[in-house]
A and B are shown apart, each in its own frame.
Chain A
Amino acid sequence: MEQKQINLLIAGVIVVLIFGVFQYLISPKYQEMIFKNSEIESLQGQIKNINDYYSFTEASFQKLKNAGWETKKDIIGANFTSSPFFFPKAHHLLRNLASQNGLTVSNITNSNPVDILKTQEEYKDLLQGPVKKTTFNLSLLGTQESFKNLLSTIENQARIITVKNISVLPVSTYAGPIPEGFLNFNLSVDLYSY
């Protein structure tokens, strides 16, 4: 065998070896590097998104604070906190509102709190929190003017009181002397809690 032929044979073997190195060593590592690059890009994107979200959150939180959320939260929150003293507190509130407007409360009854999703309210699906509704029925005695004032007071409360039913009847079963112009009012209202 001539030297030239031997050299060609060795060169051929080396070329095959080079292909092997590319195929089984360089190519997998290169693919791994490409994959790592895309992973890095994705992580960098995540960091950017998180930072953007945090900046937005911080700005929104600042706006909320500037709008006086700390004090407003207590006012609004009264509508959505659940407490073991919900019923006595609600009774106390309604009695107070009635007496402040010159009405005598002869009776207050209440239903059990009902999950608003189980009611027929049209807006129920728009609510985000687990709002419960409790109906209170009040029997009141007083003048029509006092009752109108009570309704205005109820509507201006931070605590939402939804007036459902009103009935105004002449006083018939009241024991004792009845001042002129007094009427019986039955008022049915809803209060909310979480």
Chain B
Amino acid sequence: MAIDIGPVKKERPKENNIILILPILFLILSFMVYFLIAFLFVPQKNSEIQKLTSEISNLNTASVNSNIKELNTAKVFISDFKILLDNSPKMSKFFESFEAWKHPQIVYSNLKIDSSIRNVSVFGKTTTNRNLMEQIATLKNEQSIESYELSNIVVSETGETSFNISLIIKAGLLR
């Protein structure tokens, strides 16, 4: 009877293999994740960024820029025009109003108007001071006049009356 004297194969326990295989698998997996991120995802993102950047630079077209320039010009022109127009008093309205409330028997002359302070000063002359009284009564009720001030009233022996009158017109009248 023959006796086998060769080396006896020892079986490695399975748990020993798992201890080695699992970490190696994780290590391989880690490297795969790294390579995926570093050589696939990041370059993809880079090319996407490049594409979007070039898209942005292509958006600044000449026609859009000229439209924007024209709109800005229009905005400034229209805004300034409106402001200046709104602040330009309509002096003709004062003359219309003056015709309406001035006494027919008083002769007015030396009219001075300063539109910035809405001040009107005028010299008046009439045959009797009753006309001046009537004029004052009209001025008191006149809606377009904010205030008035009489000065240099001179009544002659014949009753002829001369005076200066200074008025502040309401802002609404000159709009």
Contact = CB atoms under 8 A, between A and B. Distances in A.
The answer to whether A and B assemble together is yes
Interface of A: 3-4, 7-8, 10-11, 14-15, 17-18, 21-22, 25-26, 29-30, 32-33, 36-37, 39-40, 43-44, 46-47, 50-51, 54, 57-58, 60-61, 64, 69, 73, 76-77, 79-80, 121-123, 126-129, 131, 144, 148, 151-152, 155, 160-170, 192
Given A25-B38, A40-B49, A80-B80, 11 more contacts: A4-B13, A8-B19, A15-B23, A18-B23, A22-B30, A126-B79, A127-B80, A151-B92, A152-B92, A155-B88, A164-B116
Given A57-B68, A151-B95, A169 B27 contact: no
B56 A164 contact: no
Interface residues of B, number: 60
Contact of A166 (B33, B42, B79, B91): B91
A36 B80 contact: no
Contacts of A61: 67, 70-71
Interface string B54-96: 0110010000100110110111111111011111111110010
B42 A148 contact: no
Interface in B1-30: 12-13, 16, 19-20, 22-24, 26-27, 30
A22 B79 CA distance: 62
26 contacts: A10-B23, A11-B20, A18-B23, A21-B31, A25-B30, A25-B38, A29-B38, A30-B37, A36-B42, A36-B48, A40-B45, A46-B56, A64-B70, A69-B74, A79-B80, A123-B86, A127-B80, A129-B76, A129-B77, A163-B88, A163-B91, A166-B115, A167-B111, A167-B113, A168-B111, A169-B109
Contact of B64 (A32, A57, A165): A57
Contacts of B154: none
Given A3-B12, A58-B67, A160-B85, A43 B49 contact: yes
Nearest to B66: A61
B26 A18 contact: yes
B20 A7 contact: yes
A32 B42 contact: yes
Interface of B: 12-13, 16, 19-20, 22-24, 26-27, 30-31, 33-34, 37-38, 41-42, 45-46, 48-49, 52-53, 55-56, 59, 64, 67-68, 70-71, 73-81, 83-92, 95, 109-116
B87 A121 contact: yes
A60 B70 CA distance: 11
Interface class of chain B by DSSP: helix
A167 B114 CA distance: 9
Contacts of A148: 92, 95
A29 B37 contact: yes
A54 B91 contact: no
Contacts of B84: 79, 127, 131, 160, 162, 192
Nearest to A153: B92
Contact of B88 (A127, A160, A168): A160
A14 B23 CA distance: 6
Contacts of A21: 27, 30-31, 34
A109 to B, nearest CB: 18
